[in-house]
Structures are given as structure tokens and as C-alpha cells.
């Protein structure tokens, strides 16, 4: 029996905490911290932090859609950060820390847009949701030392 997996890409501030949050979800098979949404090819952490590449710190989430839905992943995404702050999460400031959903398919795009709209209507946030919804283009894995950063150091979370 072969497992079918799918991929989702989320930016919600520093990827260390975002990756740790998604790794805890049943149905998530793997996560990779990386960069997406910019113009440079093969950016490094230093490149992204310069603010010159346009990349966001993202987490690639490989999941089993028979166990966890894309909608459920979006719910975890909304709960993991403040989607009303532009280019900022907690003390982290810069375009690389923006709130973004990078969709792979038109179906993911539609679901993400409806989910964002629902967040705005819930009345939970005092400010408008500014989360970017863009196509997932090139994903670049971050350097090895960023992968499962908190887990490797025995830390539960950072900004979440």
C-alpha cells in the first residue's frame, strides 16, 4: 500500500517555531525549513536576512491528506502567529518574517483565500489580516543547522 502525500508552504515568522508547530500535527510526515517568494536563486540565510532577495522564511510541510486536511493545516497556521502584522512576528522584523501562504494548486489557492476571508470575519483580530497568498514557485531548503532547530536543542518553541 502506497501512501499519498501532498505539500504545503507556510511563512509565519521565524521558521524555527513554525516548523516545530507543524511537526507536532498528526498526519504531517516531514517538514523542511527554507526560503520562498523571492527573486534570487539558491539564497543563503545571510542573503535572505539582508532583505534584498524578497524571500520569506517558510516551512515546507509534507502531509498525508487522508489524515490531516489542507484546511486543518491552515487552521494551525492561523493559530501559530499574528497574521495582522506586516513583515513582523514578535521581535523579528523584516520582509522575510511576513505572513504568507504559498499555494501549489488552484484548489489550495481557493481554500487559502476562503480561509483568510473567514479569519477576517471571525472578529478575533483587531486589525486586518495581511497574509500574502502567492503561488509556490522555487523552494530552497535552508542550511542544515536551521532544520528542526528547536527540537535539536531541546526547546519547545520560540515566538509561538
Q: What distance in Å separates the CA atoms of residue 160 and residue 145, rounded to the nearest whole number?
A: 20
Upper half-sphere CA count for residue 28 (Cβ side, 13 Å): 21
Is 158 in the active site?
A: no
How does strand 140-141 pair with strand 28-36?
antiparallel
What is the Cα gyration radius of the chain?
Answer: 15
Q: What distance in Å separates the CA atoms of residue 134 and residue 98, rounded to the nearest whole number?
A: 12
Report the alpha-carbon angle 45-37-10, nearest 5: 85
Q: Which of 8, 11, 12, 14 is catalytic?
A: 14
Q: Residue 123 has which C-alpha cell?
A: 472578529
Q: What distance in Å separates the CA atoms of residue 19 and residue 26, rounded to the nearest whole number?
A: 14
Residues carrying an active site annotation: 14
Amino acid at each position: 500500500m502506497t501512501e499519498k502525500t501532498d505539500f504545503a508552504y507556510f511563512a509565519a515568522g521565524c521558521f524555527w517555531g513554525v516548523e516545530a508547530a507543524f511537526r507536532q500535527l498528526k498526519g504531517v510526515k516531514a517538514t523542511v525549513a527554507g526560503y520562498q517568494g523571492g527573486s534570487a536563486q539558491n539564497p543563503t540565510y545571510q542573503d535572505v536576512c539582508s532583505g534584498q532577495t524578497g524571500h520569506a522564511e517558510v516551512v515546507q510541510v509534507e502531509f498525508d491528506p487522508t489524515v490531516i486536511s489542507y484546511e486543518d493545516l491552515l487552521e494551525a497556521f492561523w493559530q501559530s502567529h499574528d497574521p495582522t502584522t506586516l513583515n513582523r512576528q514578535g521581535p523579528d522584523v523584516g520582509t522575510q518574517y511576513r505572513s504568507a501562504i504559498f499555494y501549489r494548486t488552484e484548489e489550495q489557492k481557493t481554500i487559502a483565500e476562503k480561509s483568510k476571508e473567514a479569519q477576517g470575519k471571525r472578529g478575533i483580530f483587531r486589525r486586518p489580516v495581511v497574509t500574502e497568498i502567492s503561488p509556490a514557485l522555487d523552494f530552497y531548503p535552508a542550511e542544515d543547522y536551521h532544520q528542526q532547530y528547536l527540537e535539536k536543542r531541546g526547546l519547545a518553541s520560540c515566538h509561538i
